[in-house]
Structures are given as C-alpha cells and as structure tokens.
Amino acid sequence: MKPFFPRNLLAALFLALGLLSLHSVANAQEQSGEATEEAQGEEQQGEQPEIKTLPPAYEGQLMRLAEILGALHYLRNLCGSEEGQLWRDEMQNLIAAEKPSEPSQAQMVAAFNRGFRGYAEIHRECNEPAIEAANQFLAQGTRIAAEIPNRYGR
C-alpha cells in the first residue's frame, strides 16, 4: 500500500508555519523594543524594572501544534515519506521563532514528545488509519499555524 499524503496540505502547512515564524519574530522584536524603552525610562528614575512575562494568548494552540508536529514526525516517517528530521526541524524553527521562556519551551518539547510517543504506541506499521491520522494532522496543523497570526497578529 502506497501512502497518500496530499501535497497541497504539505505546502499549506509549511507556508502557515513560515508565516507563524515571521509573526513570532516580529512580535518578539516589537515587545523587545517596548521593554527596552520601558526599562530605560525606569532606569532614569533609579528603579530596577521587574520583568514579568505572560504566556501568549495562543499558548494552548502552540502546544497543540507542537503535539501535531511530534505526531507527524512519527507517522510520516513510519509511512515512508522520506522526510527524515523535517518535522523535528520545524519544531526547532518554531521554538527559535517563538523564543519561549524555559518553562514554556519545556512544555512545547513535552507536547512534541507526547505526540510522537502517543502515536508510536498506537501505530506500529503504516496502514490506512496511520495515513488518515497523518493527513488529519496536516490539515489541523495548517489551520492552527494559519490561525495564530491571523487571529493574534496585526
């Protein structure tokens, strides 16, 4: 049985992940600029700034996307997609673009691993359900990666 992975879904997911990365970098730079201005203002007053970082409003979606990337990493390699470390690399790119706090990064990595291990326990060989799950994850990942910058971006 030859696995069927729709190319248009792959292309859409990569495009959405790329846009999400660009959005994350732009937000980080903008927030960094604002924080620097605030810190400079407070330093002039002689106070030490207290930095509190709140998780982004889309953190739940980000965790789900990390879990999807883990599941895709397992399922697509299981079904012979010959993509190697592609999905793990996409996860690394997402972390690099988001620049999460250490606890958030640990949660993202745990979600990726949960997605990978969860499907490794269920699917030991490439079959119709494994292919269908991978295709559904491609579609869901594309939706989430596109929704984050559309909903929370400018």
The pTM of this model reads 0.72
37-41, 52-56, 83-87, 99-103: the lowest-pLDDT one: 37-41
Q: What is the pLDDT of residue 103?
A: 93
25 band by pLDDT with thresholds 50, 70 and 90: very low
Dihedral (CA of 77, 82, 88, 94) sign: negative
Q: Which helix (H) or strand (E) holds 142?
A: helix 128-152
Burial tier of 112 (Cβ tally within 10 Å: 0-12, 13-18, 19+):
buried
Helices (H), 3-127: 7-44, 59-78, 86-98, 102-122
Q: Is the pLDDT of residue 84 over 90?
A: no
Residue type, 23: H
Q: Is the pLDDT of residue 31 over 70?
A: no
Distance CA 83, CA 41 (A): 49
